[in-house]
Chain A
Amino acid sequence: MSEEQRAEKFLELFNKGKEFTEELLRENQRLRYRLAALETESVAPEEVQRLREQISQLTEENRRIQQRFREVEEENKDFANRYIEIEEQNNNLANLYVASYQLHSTLDFREVIQIVQEIIINLVGAEAFAILLLDEKTNELKAIAYEGEDVMPGVDAISTRLGEGVLGTVAKTGESYYVNQDVEGGAITIDKPLAAVPLKIKEHVIGLIVIYKLLQQKDSFSAVDYELFSLLAAHAATAIFSSKLYSQSERKLNTIQSFLDLLTTTS
């Protein structure tokens, strides 16, 4: 290679190096501009502070909303529970209303007894029970109506004296008797029923409702059952008593009418 050729080659390399250097300088300049632009674009410290405060406020608001959400959820649960309670109360009131209405819907003694039986079967849910009336002349309690003699033999022929055994004691004291099967256990017998409720007119006991067995689908007495027993204790007693009086007065009226008819025919 001649001196001239080597010089051209060197010049060529030099020019390439120059171009490369100029290229680097331009890139550098471009990056400088970009950096400057970025520095200009970057958020001012007060803006950062403002944004931080905003984030803090939003976080707090989010926390408050979540708290309120939890509270509303709790309120909803309360409302749901309250709704169920009110539904239960409605149901109980309907039972009590219907029982009371039906008990005073007739003056026929057999019908009144039939209604008491219906209430015990359908509203209380008893499978075996008896209605006893007190004979005040003999002080004896006797079954006048019953149900479930197949599951509680002897329920059809209950007869006990006032003050004797559980039934006689309930009739004498006027205090209801309930067995808590979960606590007391033991076998249910004719003289140890699930419940014995006195039929009372004020403090005067005229008879008893005695429950021996509940329906298969019913495990135990519910709150409304005790309300029904209280209602039956008073309302069934007055209904039974007034229907007895009515039938007695009807009989007397018939007798007097027959007597008057006889008198008018003979005179």
Chain B
Amino acid sequence: MENANFLVVEDSPTMRQLISFSLKRFKNAKIIEAVDGVDALKKLSGPDKIDLILTDINMPVMDGLKLVSLVRQNSQLRNIPIIIITTEGAEEDRERGLALGANAYISKPIQSSHLIKTISELLSV
């Protein structure tokens, strides 16, 4: 997939950088960063059409699950694929995230190759 716009929602600068680093494998990818759910919603209403959202769960102000829920309720955003990337590795957390409408759930620590594969499948590259 070329020229894709990714929205990375993470409160940890370390994780934002690491995820962005992996996303650079996609040619001409544009990476937009947000530090929490509220910031993400602002970025989603901005000029860039977002092709995929990668979000953490545990964040201040608005967590990732709330963000997923709001995106799925929004008629203009509901079709954007969402990947949850989190330290929460329990099966019930995964099920909860997917039930809210996330397309994939990746537990930290992330493997770059796994992330790339998941994104490629979602964007049908």
Contact = CB atoms under 8 A, between A and B. Distances in A.
Contacts of A127: 87
B89 A118 contact: no
Interface stretch (A11-19, A175-183, A214-222): A214-222
A97 B89 CA distance: 25
Interface residues of B, number: 17
B76 interface: no
Contacts of B13: 102, 105, 115, 118
A52 B22 CA distance: 60
Given A87-B112, A91-B113, A125-B108, A102 B87 contact: no
B3 interface: no
A98 B107 contact: no
A99 B15 CA distance: 9
Contact of A216 (B18, B21, B90, B109): B90
Contacts of A217: 89, 107
A105 B89 CA distance: 29
State the 10 A-B residue pairs at the shortest beta-carbon distance, nearest first.
A217-B89, A118-B14, A91-B112, A87-B113, A125-B109, A216-B89, A217-B107, A98-B18, A118-B12, A102-B14
Given A98-B21, A123-B18, 6 more contacts: A90-B112, A95-B109, A99-B14, A118-B15, A215-B109, A217-B89
Q: How many residues of A sit at the interface, in one of the four size bands? A: 20 to 34
A83 to B, nearest CB: 9
Interface string B86-125: 0101100000000000000001110111000000000000
B45 interface: no
A123 B13 CA distance: 12
- Residue among B18, B22, B108, B112 with the most chain A CB within 10 A? B18
